[in-house]
A and B are shown apart, each in its own frame.
Chain A
Amino acid sequence: MDNAKTKILIIEDDQFLREFYQELLQGERYIVEAEPDGEKGLEAIRQGQYNLILLDIMMPKIDGLQVLRDLKINPGNFKNTPIVVLTNLGQDAIIKQAFDLGAAGYLIKSALSPDQVLKEIQSYLQKNP
């Protein structure tokens, strides 16, 4: 699929990391939108049409797991877009919870180099064009 037609949403509270992932993905010609917390993120997911959503866990207002939970109750326009958790929390219990709540993948920021993150994102997009 053409990257220029692929829309990715990033929900990340750390400004530097948010802008970094945005720039990294824009560098690959993806269309990128970004939200700084779970509340705004949830709103965007329910309204927009994305090809992939990157979701942080530890965030103010609504955390990532709660976003997944709320989305189950009230999905709005959200339809099976893969949501990949992108976090620095590596606890098994949280990973399991995220998958149980419908996450398509789980990436640990500190364990992956930027090109590895890109590779992972590409593989999720290929699985769900």
Chain B
Amino acid sequence: MRGVLGFLAPKLLRALVAVWLVTTVVFVVMRLSGDPVPLLLPPDAPTSEMERVRRDLGLDRPLPVQYLTFVGNALRGDFGRSIHFREPAWSVVVRYLPATLELGLTSFGLALVVAVPIGMLSAIKRNSPIDQAAMGVALVGQSAPTFFLGIFFILTLSLWAGWFPTSGRGSWEHLVLPAITLGAFSMASIARLTRSAVLDVLRQDFVRTARAKGLPELTVVMKHTFKNAALPVVTITGLQFGTLLGGAVVTETVFAWPGIGRLAIQSIYNRDYPIVQCTVFLSAILFIVLNFAIDLLYGVLDPRVRPR
């Protein structure tokens, strides 16, 4: 048990420091970005009214006090009231969260389901036309800018082919294009990495032994190679999730998908600090929790990194 603690404690500490840093940076940047009060009131509002609103929002207090209040409240999930929606920021963000999770998990699942088999196939049939075509597409997918990919899909698959709606959320058809757009980068990275990880393993002596004793190639790949190649794939998969969260901002904007990414962008334009802080805080936490989980999974997959 102590060994496990010794293994986890430093990681946990680092994760907490990261969360704190992220929160602080968000606070500072948002507070620097100007006074939201004039945006909330008509331009001819009297000064006394502006003062009252400022006091209501706690903006009249010294910055350090605002900061401490902010951190204390954030720990309790209280990010204050949204200036634009006039309700607690937390409940607004939570309302937008399912759309983002739906999109994020779909594209993540799609990326994994498509990329891992393709990467394995590419490795097994290396330098074949299949391999070269797959890796060519992967290279393009990895360097294609998300926003243009989205526009391109809207143009070709929605407007020209008429297969999918151009924007919005609703039926499963609405989900297809945003999910592919958002997942493209991860799909490409995971496919390329799976390929090189499998190739690495295929070169090992134990694979040669397995082949030498006459095992069918399928058994060699499924039983001896896949498990050993999983480690780097799991690592990059965790990192990809962070990229997905960032990509959601762009994808949701392109497809008018009502998730927290689009909410964050709109809130920045509205200078709605509480919402922005809440979304960023939530994304950072999600990312950190996920990487923590991946560290644990690592221990399961690779006994060598397990604490003794």
Binding partners A and B: no
Binding site for B on A (CB under 8 A): none
